[in-house]
Amino acid sequence: MLPEILPRPAAIGNAEYRDRRATLMAELPADSAVLLPGATLVTRSRDSEYPFRQASDFHYLTGFPEPDALLVLLPGRAEGESVLFCQDRDPALETWTGIRLGAEGARREHGVDQAFENAEREARLDELLDGRTTCYLMFDDADSLALAQAVRHRLAARARRGAQPPLAFADLAPLLHEQRLIKSAAELELLRHAGAISARAHCRAMAAARPGLAEYHLQAELEHEFHWQGGSGPAYASIVGGGANACVLHYVENRAPLRDGDLVLIDAGAEFDLYAGDITRTFPVGGRFTAAQRELYAVVLEAQERALEAVRPGTTLAAIHDGVVRHLTAGLVHLGLLDGDVQARIDDGSIKRFYPHSTSHWLGLDVHDVGDYRRDGEPRPLTPGMVLTVEPGLYIPDDDDIQAAFRGIGIRIEDDIVVTAEGCEVLTADVPKQVADIEALMDNF
Ligand code: GLY
Ligand code: MN
Ligand code: MN
């Protein structure tokens, strides 16, 4: 029998993309413009390309799925405030690479006010930007900067004939990324679905695990489920680390054999309609935790559960992280992996040897999603609609000064959470993390 197919959530509609553009433009001066290029195809080798993935910022404002597009926003423009440039129609090429919407299709299917094909881009852009005082673009994106510079340069060259180039460039990132930080109901549905697919994939990998397989076999189980459920694949390179490979935070080789007696750490999440899931689970290859693994696991699990309980409006990621650090440090002191006083081991940084990363990041279209973590130099309070991960871990080096039973153990437990008015909703609860539940799941297959 084929595995179950989860019902797909609704795609985000044109009305929402239009509202997002309107919300952004409401923050901009009337005589400004926004230039936002989409992504372009990237060569993988010779004449083959990586699968196309639209740029997150561009997708957020358009939903337009083709490469080499450009969005221009012109607040207050009578002929239309949202102008999209897209690939030229090219019937011969389309036989090879698929239908292009062209200007006509882009306007019809994506609800922008005007659309033009790229052949017209240069002349039209000059016309559209002439007289716009401030041009907003992504300062971190070299393509945006080059594009804006080129337009400015051409308009400046025509200044004696009355052209008015932009007088200032401004960074679009703070405004747009603040908007992206608070997720809409439709975005939360997609994130819930990405979480649900990711959870099923982890269950599948857990059920399949046994000594004699390699890390890549579990990667194959995970990624089969991502695609089976209609996801585009992993939201980031899947991490499957057996034994001490779990201590390499972004281990992606996934080539080593899985050995009985070792733990395996899987950090992997599906991308669905461009939204990311991000789950980590750690479990025994052979289905039973050893005593030392169980003791360390209990410390990480309790830190994670307490952190989840702390997620609610008003608290901060820094406060949640501090709680996790305290709990992990106390656990290591209790197990004899750190000496002396808990506060002293936090203050002198000894805990960083075992827990070098932070506890949370924003999650959305990007796995490490956009949005400021601090406001006026202070950690910002959480508010409803923010989506984040909680992912404490312990990574015990294979060093001589460490008790032998603990050497080379890496454990991380990660879930995805949305902040709600009442507290939080865990989006990835459907994959076991209690020792008994993991052992039971692994036993049943
Ligand atoms: N997989 C990257 C992270 O958990 O942050
Ligand atoms: Mn992760
Ligand atoms: Mn993460």
Which tokens hold the place of 97?
A: 């690479």
- Give the residue-averaged pLDDT of 95-110: 95
Is residue 177 flagged as an active site residue?
no
Does 444 score more than 70 pLDDT? no
Query: 3-class SS at 273?
Result: coil
Average pLDDT, the chain: 97
pLDDT in tens, 149-195: 999 999 999 999 999 999 999 999 999 999 999 999 999 999 999 99
Ligand 1 atom at minimal distance to the Cα of residue 280: 4
Fold assignment, 14-179: Creatine Amidinohydrolase; Chain A, domain 1 (3.40.350)
Confidence (pTM): 0.97
| Residue 278 annotated among the catalytic residues of the structure | yes
Which residues lie closer than 8 Å to 353 by C-beta, 6 or more apart? Answer: 397
- Give the pLDDT band of residue 443 (cuts 50, 70, 90): confident
Q: Once rounded to an integer, what is the mean pLDDT over residues 30-50?
A: 97
Which pair of structure tokens corresponds to residue 63?
Answer: 């939903």
What pLDDT is recorded for position 1?
A: 74
User: Catalytic annotation on 361?
Assistant: yes
**DSSP bridge pairs for 33:** 135
Mean pLDDT, rounded, for 364-371 = 98
**Do 14-179 and 182-443 agree at the fold level?**
no
* Phi-psi sector, 134: left (phi>0), alpha (psi -120 to 50), beta: beta
Adjacent-strand bridge partners of 115: 84
Which residues' Cβ are closer than 6 Å to ligand 1? 236, 267, 278, 361, 367, 391, 414
292 and 405 in contact (C-beta within 8 Å)? Answer: yes
CA angle, 54 then 59 then 63, to 5°: 110
Dihedral over Cα of 411, 236, 367, 432: its sign: negative
**Residue with CA nearest ligand 1 atom 4:** 278
pLDDT (tens digit per residue) in 184-194: 999 999 999 99
Catalytic residue among 278, 369, 415, 416: 278
Mean pLDDT of 268-296: 98
Phi and psi for 262 in degrees, rounded to 5?
Answer: -90, 160
Q: Would residue 357 show up in a list of annotated catalytic residues for this protein? A: yes
Question: Does residue 363 surpass a pLDDT of 90?
Answer: yes
Q: Is the dihedral of CA 43, 44, 49, 50 positive or negative?
A: negative
Q: What is the distance between the alpha carbons of residues 367 and 361, in angstroms, rounded to a whole number?
A: 8
The token duo for 320 is 């949640």
Q: Spot the catalytic one: 202, 204, 361, 369.
A: 361
Find the catalytic residue in 160, 161, 250, 422. Answer: 250
Query: Dmax of the chain from CA atoms?
Result: 81
| Burial degree of 30 (CB within 10 A; 0-12, 13-18, 19+) | exposed
What pLDDT, on a 0 to 100 scale, did the predictor assign at position 324? 98
Give 245's DSSP letter: G
Please tell me the CATH superfamily of domain 182-443, with its number.
Creatinase/methionine aminopeptidase superfamily (3.90.230.10)
Each residue of 168-205: b (16+ CB within 10 Å) or e? ebbebbebbbebbbebeebbbbbbbbbbbbbbbbbbbb
Please report, for the chain, the start and end positions of each structural domain, with discontinuous segments joined by +: 14-179, 182-443
> Ligand 1 centre and the CA of 306: distance in Å?
20
- Look at residue 374 in the predicted model and tell me its pLDDT: 97
